[in-house]
Amino acid sequence: MDPQATNSTLDNPLREGLSLERLPSPCAMVIFGASGDLTRRKLMPALYDLALEGLLPPGFSVVGVARSEKSNDEFREEVRESIRQNARRTPIDEGLLRTFEEGISYVAGDFSSPDAYARISEELDRLDRERNTSGNRVYYLATPPSAYAEIACKLSEQGLVQPIEDESWTRLIVEKPFGNDYDSARELNQTLLQYFSEDQIYRIDHYLGKETVQNMLAFRFANGIFEPLWNRTFIDHVQITVAESIGIENRGGYYDQAGALRDMVQNHMLQLLSLVSMEPPPAFDADSVHDEKVKALRSIRPIQPEEVDYYTVRGQYSEGWVMGQPYPGYRDEARVDPASTTETYVALKLFIDNWRWAGVPFYLRTGKHLPRRVSEISIQFHKAPHPPFAENVTQSLEPNVLAIRIQPDEGITLKTTAKVPGPSMRLRSVNMGFLYGTSFLVESPDAYERLLLDCMLGDSTLFPRRDGIEASWEPITQILRGWEATGVENLPAYSAGTWGPEEADSFMERDGRQWRQP
Ligand SMILES: NC(=O)c1ccc[n+]([C@@H]2O[C@H](COP(=O)([O-])OP(=O)(O)OC[C@H]3O[C@@H](n4cnc5c(N)ncnc54)[C@H](OP(=O)(O)O)[C@@H]3O)[C@@H](O)[C@H]2O)c1
């Protein structure tokens, strides 16, 4: 291990405890799709940041695999550049970067070519001999989804997958999207399970690596005061907002096939919904947490095709301004069908049919080119049943809202009502808040750091299990079928830089509610 990485660990007693407790055994990581955007922007910087924290095992090595021909040195240069541009912790520790780089190599080859796997195998053997990686491997599929099944099959055919009973371990990380509907997700699960066991498969949803998302479990289950209120008796409704200020960037080809429901709701938003609504798990281990999340997902009431227009709103952005910049409409974006009816905004009303949540609506909304990037869960409580104040005072009383901010400004605020100082009884809403940034003086790791580390440690708590993926595709596939059956005559438009189509506001007003402005 690089001495400088160890120094940064020793500087901080909190980190020291963490690294002793959570240091993975030696291993090599093979990244399929090593010249891609994800590797460049997220994976390599996250690995470097882990090295800086002293959380990578001794001899940790990366083998990049992609089609383009390049030498080890050329690949290392690309990695260096990607770390310089995207690492969380700056300035870059050049000494650590040089040591980190020594463990990086590159294999050029097509995913369909058996030769490529023979070369990967040779490279892994070399790493076992020279860097003591002990036969332990993580395979990361940072590739187009169409390649997932083929790579899993070829790895197995070439003898690169150790059986689970072996002393050394093999793990597979699969990126999103995991399928594009219930049937394809199920088929992909079945295919991967021919070559890997469930305990070897890590389906990534980077939202689960975010500190605030994990904090939801701590908040709900490590405090005595919230859980008794966490049900239909006290909660009026729940809102989950994942707003993006960016558009589709250069992902037109993918996005036009996917749309907001598949891209954001099936994975990130239903994961958030399951964490908010699940029952307390008996223990904080992967299976106990997954069991409860899956139960919550399975309790989502299916939306029948004839109800789809009542429970969902779709929208597509037209040209407009976001944060002072002009943007074209969705249909004018590159690689988007000029007559596209793909939704870039979706709002849903879901019910969870179980004892705890009967009758409590969960409103979800997400969109591209909204005014701000913000992800938030807000729990809105019932109004006080009988405030003993004059009518003119109580008219403006707002209900209590617990807002869990996932990004940015991570934290939790509780909106309560207080008396305005002065001679008369005037009331106003005030916020009690906890901000990560000010309460803890350590910076939160990036989600990919946490998830890569967990995979190396064999901890799958933050990775959706097979049944969780399928359970989240079920209600989404129902909605997609409903949309297909009803067609889209007039897809509502919203100007880029606004909070979605007007129809989304009327959707809430119909229920006597409104979207919370984060
Ligand atoms: N980018 C993100 O922020 C992001 C976020 C969430 C999820 N994801 C998911 O992560 C995966 C990768 O995304 P990306 O944006 O990094 O994609 P990308 O930029 O298009 O990169 C794809 C990579 O796969 C390689 N590749 C493709 N076909 C190949 C083949 N037949 N043989 C060998 N190599 C091949 C490419 O190599 P060459 O360049 O040599 O052709 C490239 O390295 C996708 O599933 C995506 O949905 C990405």
pLDDT score of 391 more than 70: yes
pLDDT score of 1 more than 50: no
- How far apart are the CA of 178 and the centre of ligand 1, in A? 14
Q: At what angle do helices 72-86 and 44-52 cross, to 10 degrees?
A: 70
Q: Looking at the CA of residue 113, tell me the nearest atom of ligand 1.
A: 32
pLDDT score of 95 more than 60: yes
Q: Is the four-CA dihedral 360, 364, 370, 376 of positive or negative sign?
A: positive
Chain region(s) in the chain for CATH 3.30.360.10 = 209-385+441-447+464-509
Residue 212: predicted pLDDT: 87
* pLDDT tens-place string over residues 277-314: 999 999 999 999 999 999 999 999 999 999 999 999 99
Q: Is the peptide bond before 58 cis (omega within 30 degrees of 0)?
A: no
Name the more confident of 238 and 425.
238
Amino acid at the residue 77: E
pLDDT score of 17 more than 80: no
- 462: buried, middle or exposed (CB in 10 Å: 19+, 13-18, 0-12)? buried
Confidence of residue 240 (pLDDT cuts 50, 70, 90): very high
- Residue 346, beta-bridge partner list: 314, 366
Mutation probe of ligand 1 site: the residue of 35, 38, 178 with most atoms within 8 A of C-beta: 38
Q: At what angle do helices 44-52 and 447-457 cross, to 10 degrees?
A: 80
pLDDT score of 2 more than 60: no
Mean pLDDT, rounded, for 372-378? 97
Residue 12: predicted pLDDT: 38
Q: Which CATH class is domain 3-204?
A: alpha beta
Mean pLDDT, rounded, for 473-483? 97
Q: Which protein residue has the closest C-alpha to ligand 1 atom 2?
A: 38
Q: Which two tokens stand for residue 214?
A: 């994990």
Contact predicate 514/508, CB 8 Å: yes
- How far apart are the CA of 151 and the centre of ligand 1, in A? 13
pLDDT score of 214 more than 50: yes
Q: Mean pLDDT score of the chain, rounded to an integer? A: 93
Most distant CA pair in the chain: distance in Å? 83
CA angle 344, 346, 350 (to 5 degrees): 160
Residue 205: predicted pLDDT: 96
* pLDDT tens-place string over residues 347-365: 999 999 999 999 999 999 9
- How far apart are the CA of 141 and the centre of ligand 1, in A? 8
The residue written with tokens 């989502």 in the block is: 300
Q: Looking at the CA of residue 68, tell me the nearest atom of ligand 1.
A: 40
Mean pLDDT, rounded, for 184-200? 98
Q: Looking at the CA of residue 109, tell me the nearest atom of ligand 1.
A: 33
Which DSSP state fits 269?
Answer: I
Residue closest to 233 by CA, chosen among 358, 328, 103:
358
Residue 394: predicted pLDDT: 81
Q: In terms of DSSP H, where are the helices of 349-492? A: 391-394, 436-439, 447-457, 466-486
* pLDDT tens-place string over residues 128-182: 999 999 999 999 999 999 999 999 999 999 999 988 888 899 999 999 999 999 9
Residue 18: predicted pLDDT: 47
Separation between Cα atoms, residue 428 and residue 393, nearest integer Å: 9
- How far apart are the CA of 119 and the centre of ligand 1, in A? 20
Q: Which protein residue has the closest C-alpha to ligand 1 atom 3?
A: 38
Query: Which of 237, 268, 290, 369 is labelled catalytic?
Result: 268
Q: Looking at the CA of residue 206, tell me the nearest atom of ligand 1.
A: 6
- How far apart are the CA of 37 and the centre of ligand 1, in A? 7
Contact predicate 327/369, CB 8 Å: yes
- How far apart are the CA of 394 and the centre of ligand 1, in A? 56
- How far apart are the CA of 101 and the centre of ligand 1, in A? 22
Q: Looking at the CA of residue 204, tell me the nearest atom of ligand 1.
A: 7
pLDDT score of 6 more than 50: no
Q: Looking at the CA of residue 41, tell me the nearest atom of ligand 1.
A: 3
Name the more confident of 105 and 518.
105
Separation between Cα atoms, residue 239 and residue 413, nearest integer Å: 14
Q: Is 206 a catalytic residue?
A: no
Contact predicate 261/177, CB 8 Å: no
Ligand 1: lining residues by beta carbon, under 6 Å: 33-38, 41, 66-68, 110-111, 142-145, 147, 175-177
Residue 260: predicted pLDDT: 98
- How far apart are the CA of 42 and the centre of ligand 1, in A? 12
Residue 9: predicted pLDDT: 36
3-state helix, strand, coil in the chain (%, to 5): 40, 20, 35
Q: Is the peptide bond before 281 cis (omega within 30 degrees of 0)?
A: no
Q: Which protein residue has the closest C-alpha to ligand 1 atom 32?
A: 110
Mutation probe of ligand 1 site: the residue of 30, 31, 32, 37 with most atoms within 8 A of C-beta: 37
Q: Which two tokens stand for residue 276?
A: 């908010």
Confidence of residue 489 (pLDDT cuts 50, 70, 90): confident
- How far apart are the CA of 373 and the centre of ligand 1, in A? 25
Separation between Cα atoms, residue 256 and residue 236, nearest integer Å: 36
Residue 8: predicted pLDDT: 39
- Rounded to two decimals, the pTM is 0.93
Chain region(s) in the chain for CATH 3.40.50.720 = 3-204
Mean pLDDT, rounded, for 46-68? 96
pLDDT score of 490 more than 90: no
CATH architecture of the region 209-385+441-447+464-509:
2-Layer Sandwich (3.30)
Q: Which protein residue has the closest C-alpha to ligand 1 atom 23?
A: 33
Mean pLDDT, rounded, for 254-281? 97
Mutation probe of ligand 1 site: the residue of 39, 62, 67 with most atoms within 8 A of C-beta: 67
pLDDT > 70: percent of the chain: 96
Q: Looking at the CA of residue 251, tell me the nearest atom of ligand 1.
A: 15
Confidence of residue 21 (pLDDT cuts 50, 70, 90): low
Contacts (Cβ under 8 Å, ≥6 apart) of 37 = none
Mean pLDDT, rounded, for 109-125? 97
Confidence of residue 275 (pLDDT cuts 50, 70, 90): very high
495 SS3 class: strand
Separation between Cα atoms, residue 271 and residue 252, nearest integer Å: 25
Q: Looking at the CA of residue 111, tell me the nearest atom of ligand 1.
A: 32
Ramachandran angles phi, psi of 79, nearest 5°: -65, -45
Contacts (Cβ under 8 Å, ≥6 apart) of 480 = 181, 261, 262
Alpha-carbon 156 to chain mean position: 28
* pLDDT tens-place string over residues 195-210: 999 999 999 999 999 9
Q: Which protein residue has the closest C-alpha to ligand 1 atom 19?
A: 36
Mutation probe of ligand 1 site: the residue of 143, 148, 153, 172 with most atoms within 8 A of C-beta: 143
- How far apart are the CA of 495 and the centre of ligand 1, in A? 31
